[in-house]
Structure 1
Amino acid sequence: MVNMSLLPSRFLSAGERLLHGRGVAAAVGAGRAEDWVRLDEDVFLGTLRRVAGWNISCRLQVGFHWFDGREIADWDTAPYWGVDGPSWAGVPTGSELALCLCHADPRIRAAALAAGGPAAPLPLLLLRCADNDERVRGQARALFAEALAAAGDGRVRSLVVLALRVGVRRHGNWARDAVLARAGGVRAADVRELLACGGRRGADARVAGVRAGVAAGLLDADALYRIALTADQGNRDRFEAVRAAVAAGRDTAARKRFLDFLAECGTPEVRTRALRYAFAARLPTAGDLAALAAGHRDRKLRRLAVTMVLDLPDADAVLDRLLAASDSVVRGTAVQRLAACGAAERLVPYLTDRSPWVRGLADRGLRAAGGDPHTRYRAWCADPEAVTPAAVSGLAEYRNPRDEPLLQALTRHADGAVRGRALGGLRRLGVLDDATPARYAADPDPHVVAVGRRGLRDAAPPAPGRPARDRGDAAVSDSPQLP
């Protein structure tokens, strides 16, 4: 009894079937555009080992058994270029000719074109028209033009999808234009076939489908955005669809549709690339970019939007929205814009921003304009009614010993957050003693208790054999390491 699940043909690629002597029709199966492309890729990769001088071995599992890769397909038996030219004797068979037309060695491909002439398989001639080797490419185009002129309309129509697929390659435009001129254009079924190609290997086909659909007017902006939202096999076709959709229109409706797409899209890479395409096309306004920077859920998109909006001539009109954003990077970027514009007084409120980075930017901007942020911090912290936790943090960041009495007084403030920041400032100054934890152990704010304990840890001498640590930076003790 034969186990049908282990028949070799179920586990052989198209190129391996050719290598075993199967005919071209049997190797490519249904003969769709992707079947021919994969045959070409399989043979190229299989013969590349000999051309590049690689010695590769692998093991493959077929059913429950493991085999050496050369037992399945020994590519060393494929035709090759020897001292006297191609290794075949006489006229190559159909399978040998197909193998050689897809071979990794351009000399073999050129010899196969000379041997096969216009009678070679037309899809393989079409593929060679986009060959990277100039000699092979020119030879194939001459033969393909001759074969195409003699082919019937039905045969030419069957080449359209493959021609569109080849058209995305570097040298593929000639073959695509030659086939489309004879076939009379692209049909919706051709685009659907390309867009239906799945997997990573089908990415070029899907990109070709998008380009062909746009060029033929078969895909509008809504269809392109739908492709960008629903494609699930990588991002190349999504990028292509978004790029085409953004280029389709620049009116108010197109701008709204793009913003809706950003809200719907669940892939960060696609959202970011889409915004770059749209900005290059001048589609979103300064208000749109400010809204994205202030409120979009994607942090990377927010930060990209704020850099873009500040490049626009009307950016100052939306600066207040950026300064009120929840993202500290967006606020900080807007504060930098204020400092660059010389608006020193507008920087004052951001000395007490909740972000240390934003506070630092405001501080440097004020000092560059001749202001004295330290004096402002002391004035705020001297008023128990006006002081805020951020103001205490700003004062503590100066690490000025003259501020110790003011910080000591704030450790008795009614607000636990103020007490904690003041205690942290004293810790920075290194003035906390061993009695600190006991003094603040009963504080109702757990942050105050934790800061006091960290101050004691900083002040304590390191145990023998253990590294000393100061604010998280390790310094190795001079004492010997104990086992």
Structure 2
Amino acid sequence: MPAGGSAGIMTAVGDLVDRLFRRLRTLFGRVPAAAVPARGAAVRDLRATVPARPAVPDLPEGVPDLLLAACHPNGYVREAAVTALGERDDVTALPVLALRAADWVPEVRDRARRVCARWLDRAPAEAIAGLAPAALALQARQEGRWLAQAVGDVLRDGPPEALAAALASEDRRTRRLAYTTGVRTLDVDHLVHAARTDSDLPIRVLCAEAAIRSTGDPEVARRLLTSRTAAVRAEAVRALAAAGDTGPAVEALTDRSALVRATAQVALRRAGTDPATRYRALLADQRPPRPAVIAGLAETGTRADAALLRPWLAHPSSRGRAETVRALRHLGDTPRDLLLPLLTDEVSSVTRQVVQSLEGHTLDEHHLRPLLHPPHPLHVQRAAYRLLCAQGVWTRISVDLELVATPDHALCGTARSDLGEWLRRDAATTYSVPDGPRATELSGLLAEAEPFLSRESTRSLRFCLNLT
């Protein structure tokens, strides 16, 4: 804070009292005599309430200690530390200066901003490397926009070395801003390299689009066809197809990524080719077919193609089986008798797909209940539990009570939470009660689970199940 800050406040207090007396003259034509002696007392009393500027302890000499002082809770200490750091030519201070440039105290903030501005003007490359990560991380703060804007201005209008420093930064925000700002100035090789290797997905996509757009050379797009990023491969396929080369689109029909397949399918349709025909041919030729072929036929085919896919529920790879279940569901074909055996698949991804396909079916509860328990693996138990709960409210309550009464079961906690959720949310809108054998079953299960339930839960369940 500026020297003499307390004196400035006292001056302001005196001005306030003077304005008060001027207002009295306006109202009464003069200041009441009784108020005159009070003027000096009022000023003295008000001045007595103004705290004196606290003494700032002696600051350390070393930069590490000054960095700690710049984070002190006392604003005067932070201000003094920022001033001292501004007098030292040490880049290690830049992140803390960036933090203080967004300080809530105006005097601290202004001093830090002046120091940062000097760094950006005098040594832009070093300043960008030290300030940009913190500035961009803090830009959402109330006072954080100034430094982020200053960094962006230097990247846009400053020397090339500043942009180069930002492009080489390990901070993804800094690199992202640098590429967004300077993408038009970068050569194609740099863009292709970044599109293939940068760790940040938005940067890879940005550079791929810029590289393809900058020259219009199909060879640039071909270099990106082998990228590990689906969005980059898709952009390369789209660009080549737009240039009249649909060969990569044909190859991309069997890409692992749905985004790339969709791009290829659109490109081939525009070229007058039906991608479903190509998928059917591949399905007939490949034994076993690649999972992407199964997925692609579901994406482009009709319900009649479900008959071609059903045999591959026995695909030798788990991904092939999971993709077949998903593909059949996409085509509106969920054959219960064919899917139920896959509930016990050794791979959880297959089981999850089966559950999604069977949730709308009415299933045999007596077939599913044995799957709730060992020796079936946990993912099979979870699948059986989810399907049983979808069979109706009393089946759901029955399964929950059975599992709650088995405290060492892996799904006991899940069942207890589900039972509590039903009591809180759904019980009040369940307008029927169990009867006959189901009521007898639930009564017995509640008696077994009672030692593991709270008294309130037990009482509520007895009431809701009409077992009182």
How would you bin the TM-score normalised by the shorter chain?
Answer: 0.5 to 0.7
Query: Aligned equivalents of 1:290 and 1:318: distance in 2?
Result: 8
- Per-residue deviation at 1:206? 4.6
- Work out whether residues 286 and 315 of structure 1, in 8 Å CA contact, stay in contact via their aligned partners in 2: no
- 1:375 pairs, out of 268, 273, 277, with 277
What does residue 377 of structure 2 align with?
none
What does residue 418 of structure 1 align with?
320
Once the two structures are superposed, the pairs formed by residues 378-397 of structure 1 within 5 Å of their partners are: 378-385=280-287, 387-397=289-299
Q: Does 1:337 align with 2:239?
A: yes
- Work out whether residues 195 and 205 of structure 2, in 8 Å CA contact, stay in contact via their aligned partners in 1: yes
- Per-residue deviation at 1:371? 0.9
What does residue 195 of structure 2 align with?
293
- Per-residue deviation at 1:379? 0.9
Q: How many residues align?
A: 304
Name the CA shift for 1:446/1:465 in 2 (closer, same or farther; >3 Å).
closer
Q: Does 1:228 align with 2:143?
A: no
Name the CA shift for 1:443/1:189 in 2 (closer, same or farther; >3 Å).
closer
What does residue 303 of structure 2 align with?
401
What does residue 8 of structure 2 align with?
24
- 2:150 pairs, out of 216, 228, 240, with 240
- Per-residue deviation at 1:348? 1.0
* % same residue: 24
Name the CA shift for 1:25/1:320 in 2 (closer, same or farther; >3 Å).
same
The residue type paired with residue 363 of structure 1 is Q
- Work out whether residues 208 and 235 of structure 2, in 8 Å CA contact, stay in contact via their aligned partners in 1: yes
After superposition, what is the alpha-carbon deviation per residue over 1:353-375, rounded to whole angstroms, capped at 9, x for unaligned?
A: 22222211210110111012111
- Work out whether residues 303 and 333 of structure 2, in 8 Å CA contact, stay in contact via their aligned partners in 1: no
Query: Aligned equivalents of 2:200 and 2:163: distance in 1?
Result: 19
Name the CA shift for 1:423/1:243 in 2 (closer, same or farther; >3 Å).
same
- Per-residue deviation at 1:189? 5.1
Name the CA shift for 1:233/1:395 in 2 (closer, same or farther; >3 Å).
closer
What does residue 349 of structure 2 align with?
447
- Per-residue deviation at 1:400? 1.2
- Work out whether residues 325 and 354 of structure 2, in 8 Å CA contact, stay in contact via their aligned partners in 1: yes
Once the two structures are superposed, the pairs formed by residues 66-465 of structure 1 within 5 Å of their partners are: 79=19, 198-201=101-104, 205-212=111-118, 218-229=122-133, 234-235=138-139, 236-241=146-151, 243-244=153-154, 247-250=157-160, 257-261=165-169, 264-265=170-171, 268-279=172-183, 282-314=184-216, 316-385=218-287, 387-460=289-362
> Which stretches in structure 2 are left out of the alignment for 5+ residues?
32-39, 44-85, 140-145, 364-389, 395-428, 433-463
What does residue 470 of structure 1 align with?
none
Name the CA shift for 1:480/1:428 in 2 (closer, same or farther; >3 Å).
farther
- Per-residue deviation at 1:338? 2.7
After superposition, what is the alpha-carbon deviation per residue over 1:97-144, rounded to whole angstroms, capped at 9, x for unaligned?
A: xxxxxxxxxxxxxxxxxxxxxxxxxxxxxxxxxxxxxxxxxxxxxxxx
Name the CA shift for 1:310/1:418 in 2 (closer, same or farther; >3 Å).
same
The residue type paired with residue 154 of structure 2 is A
- Work out whether residues 200 and 233 of structure 1, in 8 Å CA contact, stay in contact via their aligned partners in 2: no
After superposition, what is the alpha-carbon deviation per residue over 1:266-291, rounded to whole angstroms, capped at 9, x for unaligned?
A: xx443322222223xx4422222232
After superposition, what is the alpha-carbon deviation per residue over 1:228-271, rounded to whole angstroms, capped at 9, x for unaligned?
A: 35669834425524642564444xx777544322xx22xx4433
- Work out whether residues 401 and 429 of structure 1, in 8 Å CA contact, stay in contact via their aligned partners in 2: yes
Name the CA shift for 1:204/1:290 in 2 (closer, same or farther; >3 Å).
farther
Q: Secondary structure at the match of 1:458?
A: coil
Once the two structures are superposed, the pairs formed by residues 50-61 of structure 1 within 5 Å of their partners are: none
Q: Which has the higher helix share?
A: 2
Q: Secondary structure at the match of 1:411?
A: helix
Name the CA shift for 1:82/1:433 in 2 (closer, same or farther; >3 Å).
farther
Query: Aligned equivalents of 2:245 and 2:338: distance in 1?
Result: 43
Name the CA shift for 1:79/1:352 in 2 (closer, same or farther; >3 Å).
farther
Name the CA shift for 1:305/1:406 in 2 (closer, same or farther; >3 Å).
same
Cα RMSD between the aligned structures? 4.7
- Work out whether residues 351 and 362 of structure 1, in 8 Å CA contact, stay in contact via their aligned partners in 2: yes
Report the TM-score when normalising by structure 1: 0.51
- Per-residue deviation at 1:422? 1.9
Name the CA shift for 1:219/1:209 in 2 (closer, same or farther; >3 Å).
same
Name the CA shift for 1:331/1:83 in 2 (closer, same or farther; >3 Å).
farther
Report the TM-score when normalising by structure 2: 0.52
- Per-residue deviation at 1:199? 4.1
Query: Aligned equivalents of 1:14 and 1:209: distance in 2?
Result: 16
Name the CA shift for 1:290/1:82 in 2 (closer, same or farther; >3 Å).
farther
The residue type paired with residue 244 of structure 1 is V
- Per-residue deviation at 1:294? 2.5
